[in-house]
Amino acid sequence: QLKESVKNEEFRNGLLGYLEDIIKQDLSNFDFDTSETDVPERQHTDLICNNECAISTTESNTTKLIPLIMPTPKSSMPNFALHFKNGIVQLVNSNNIHKHTITCYKYSKKYENPTCRMRMPRRIENVSSINIESGEIKLKRLHETINNFNEYIISACRSNMDIKYIFSGSDAKALVYYTTDYVTKSNLSFHDTFSLVLKVILSLEKQKLNIDAAVNAEEKSRRLVLRCYNTLASQQELSGVQVASNLMGWPDHYTTHEFVNLFLIGIENYLQATLIEAPLKQQRQIESNF
């Protein structure tokens, strides 16, 4: 349906305008035009807003404060638009420009010409466009390594970010899977887990002499499992999403269907026994015919 709609010029222009208003890929919309402001020369120093905090003016880009910890400009302050743009430029320059690290090439380092898995740098696009035949959308980009951002979200969250448009159902499903996998991923690798378990076992081995001889094997096993669990749990980081979900009592999954558990081992054993018995039964029938 989208491919059919983009053939209409009015629809294309409206769609591109909508996307450009939300997604930014450079800082061209945040250039400063001092002629539009009424900031006097004496205000080139820090401006105090409501006696609460000092807000840097547009000519104070060399501030030593980290943009992430600077407060979001208040809409009621003088020349809010100017301060807002200044904050966006600082946030993007300090946190939303991609810099290559070794992890960028972890999937392609074996090749002769490894490529960044973040697809950086990206091609410059002077204007936004839509390919009528394929429906491919290319948004305006005047910077090769700035990650997509929305000025209001990045100003409110004050951190690095990414934003993209989701048009198809398959893209939406992929996004849901990625988000779910990301917030529930384990922080411990297999070899780290095994190392911690080994450490627990060695610790218990050293304490054998101090363990009451009356303690049975079941209790010893319970203590071992409990020690292993406590050791692993102490090293496991929990995301805010997991903590909030648990405190609110929300389910860990959603589904539109009810499922029945299948004990595959029992089924496999039955099939294996049947397959072994079938030729024997056939052989007995042949022998009985003679």
Position 177 in a domain: no
Q: For residue 155, which of 74, 232, 216 has the smallest C-alpha distance?
A: 74
Q: Which of 168, 201, 226 is the last residue of a domain?
A: 168
Q: Are residues 209 and 115 in the same domain?
A: no
Domains: count for the chain: 2
CB 30 within 8 A of CB 20: no
Question: 51 in a domain, yes or no?
Answer: yes
**pLDDT interval class at 138 (50, 70, 90):** very high
In a domain, 90, yes or no: yes
Asked whether residue 180 carries a pLDDT value surpassing 70, the answer given is yes
Q: What CA–CA distance (Å, rounded) separates 244 from 235?
A: 19
Mean pLDDT computed over 124-141: 90
In a domain, 102, yes or no: yes
**Structural domain includes residue 275:** no
Confidence (pLDDT) at 255: 82
What pLDDT is attached to residue 259? 85
Say yes or no: 162 and 90 in one domain. Answer: yes
**Same domain (yes/no): 106, 148:** yes
- Contact between 116 and 99 under an 8 Å Cβ cutoff? The reply is no
| pLDDT over 70, % of the chain | 83
Both 54 and 145 in one domain: the answer is yes
Assign 265 a pLDDT band (cuts: 50, 70, 90).
confident
144 and 203 co-located in one domain: no
Whole-number percent of the chain with pLDDT over 90 = 27
Residues 206 and 135 occupy one common structural domain: no
Give the tens place of pLDDT for each residue, 43-74. Answer: 333 333 333 333 344 334 445 678 878 888 88
Strands 53-55 vs 137-138: parallel, antiparallel or unpaired:
unpaired
| Cβ atoms 149, 96 nearer than 8 A | yes
Q: How many CB atoms lie within 10 A of CB 127?
A: 10
Determine the structural domain holding residue 31 and report its residue range.
2-168
One domain, residues 162 and 194: no
Whether residue 93 is contained in a domain is answered as yes
Q: How confident is the model at residue 131 (pLDDT cuts 50, 70, 90)?
A: confident
